[in-house]
Amino acid sequence: MTPAFRVGDRVRVDDRYEPRHHRTPAYVKGKVGEVERVCLAHGRPEILAYRNDGGPPRTVYRVRLRQCDLWPDYNGPAHDTLEIEIFEHWLRPVEARN
Amino acid sequence: MPHDTQGRIGPQDLGGLDGDSVDPSEHDLAQWERMVDAMTRLMYREKIFGDAAQLREGIEALGPDVYQRLSYFERWAASSARKCVMEGLVTQEELDERIAQIRERGRDGA
Amino acid sequence: MAHEHHGHDHPHPFQPDHPEPTSYYELLGMALNELLIEKGVYTAGDMRAMIEQLEAVSPETHGAKVVARAWVDPDFKAALLRDGAAAVSSLGLDPGYTELTALENTPRLHNVVVCTLCSCYPRSLLGRPPAWYKSASYRSRLVREPRKVLAEFGTTVPDDVEVRVHDSTAELRYVVVPMRPEGTEGWSEEDLATLVTRDSMIGVARAKATR
């Protein structure tokens, strides 16, 4: 399968309710970052949590976010970052600002 | 600095919450904890757990109160037992009966 | 307010009418193991072998060797950063079944690893995670106030160095390659490995300084 995003793309972590098991923690939902790395593909946790066939694998990305974008009161330098693995079906494209 | 906990995806979703300072002391695992650790590995090997998501889902299903009360490998034991009951490998009655037997053995000083 | 009473990692008695210091869930685990053996899902020998296999992996015997090799061999370090699993396999070590990612600390960048949702950990290189790695306070606070948590481990990172937190949420496992301590020029790989601590490979500490 072809990954929808490339390294350097700006992406927003989808902020949606999901009643099933999933691996997108609340603190990154709705936040904007940049694709740092395109990783492997894996079945969706939302399905694999309940049965062994997770359906078509989905690409996992490492997304880099700025700490000051995650926490408005972040107590540290502006260059501090956080990286987290997010499945493709939890990412939305963000138009470049320029 | 209170943090809005609304929207947490479950009792496991701790990122960003307030907390105490980290206690860096080392803890040796008890024998039963080593056993539970190995048991989950064997359950993966035997495809009882088809994916790590299944062990995690069973832990999250404990709900916030039980999740916070249990120690780490107690959660794993609970999730493993739940999975085996759901798969029909064991019944809750068998587990209850065996727990009573183990308690008896303990009382007998075995 | 949102400050929660967090669980701790000690078994605790919770049925005051029972004298045994064993919890229901501990007994549940023991009961399940006995039943799975009796039903032939696995054998008692499988259990013993698996416990031994898990005990056999430690930061000293596995992770430290990988880091020490990376310190002395630039080609290996480049390979490790490119494809962690392949590089680890080339040393005859098991890379584990998840995608292994090595993170290099530099004079400008300090990496530190957490799993906020559970306790994902590079067990094939470091063995079992320490209790604090699984604790609610580490998992909740590292992503939000990493410098403060690092300071609690005695690690002060200057403001001109970027702190990069890695939240291990999915199919990757991370190992930090700490900076090689000064004054170790000419050291053997074996001696260098003794400076590579578990905590330095999680990122909460630096490699041991030389005397």
C: neighbours with 3+ CB pairs under 8 Å? Answer: A, B
Domain boundaries, chain C: 24-55, 59-202
CA B27 to chain centre: 18
Q: Which residues of A touch B8 (CB under 8 A)?
A: 26
* Domains: count for chain B: 1
Does B18 score more than 50 pLDDT?
A: yes
Q: Per-residue pLDDT tens for C74-86?
A: 999 999 999 999 9
Beta strands per DSSP E along chain C: 99-104, 109-114, 162-167, 172-177
10-residue mean pLDDT series, chain C (211 residues): 40 40 90 98 98 96 97 98 95 87 98 96 95 96 98 97 95 95 96 98 95 62
Catalytic residue among C58, C119, C135, C140: C119
Number of other CB atoms surrounding residue C93 within 10 Å: 17
Q: Among this protein's residues, is C120 annotated catalytic?
A: yes
Q: Which residues of B touch A28 (CB under 8 A)?
A: 15
Domain boundaries, chain A: 10-93
Q: Per-residue pLDDT tens for C90-119?
A: 999 988 877 899 999 999 999 999 999 999
Q: What is the pLDDT of residue C185?
A: 94
Residues of chain A with pLDDT > 90, as a percent, come to 94
Q: What is the pLDDT of residue C13?
A: 35
- How sure is the predictor about B105, in pLDDT bands with cuts at 50, 70 and 90? confident
Q: Among this protein's residues, is C118 annotated catalytic?
A: yes
| Residue A80 to residue C160, Cβ atoms within 8 A | no
CATH 3.40.30.10 fits C59-202, yes or no: no
Q: What is the pLDDT of residue C97?
A: 75
Residue B47 lies inside a defined structural domain of this protein: yes
Q: Per-residue pLDDT tens for C186-200?
A: 999 999 999 999 999
Closest partner residue to B15 (CB to CB) among A22, A27, A49 is: A27
Let me know: does A49 contact A20? Beta carbons within 8 Å. yes
Q: Which residues of A touch B83 (CB under 8 A)?
A: none
- How sure is the predictor about A97, in pLDDT bands with cuts at 50, 70 and 90? low
Q: What is the pLDDT of residue C96?
A: 84
Q: What is the pLDDT of residue B74?
A: 97
| Residue C143 to residue A77, Cβ atoms within 8 A | no
Q: Among this protein's residues, is C135 annotated catalytic?
A: no
Does B1 score more than 50 pLDDT?
A: no
Kindly state the average pLDDT of the residues B57-75: 95
Q: What is the pLDDT of residue B68?
A: 93
CATH of the domain at B78: 1.10.472.20
Instruction: Look at the block and give the residue holding tokens 């008890």.
Output: B30
CATH fold label, A10-93: SH3 type barrels. (2.30.30)
| Residue A49 to residue B8, Cβ atoms within 8 A | no
Q: Among this protein's residues, is C168 annotated catalytic?
A: no
Let me know: does C112 contact C176? Beta carbons within 8 Å. yes
Q: Per-residue pLDDT tens for A22-78?
A: 999 999 999 999 999 999 999 999 999 999 999 999 999 999 999 999 999 999 999
Name which of A43, A45, A46 is nearest A58 in CA terms: A43
Q: Which residues of A touch C116 (CB under 8 A)?
A: 25, 27
What tokens appear for C172 in the block?
């990757």
For an interface test with A, which of C104, C120, C144 has the most A Cβ atoms less than 10 Å from its Cβ?
C144
The rounded radius of gyration (Å) of the Cα atoms in chain C is: 20
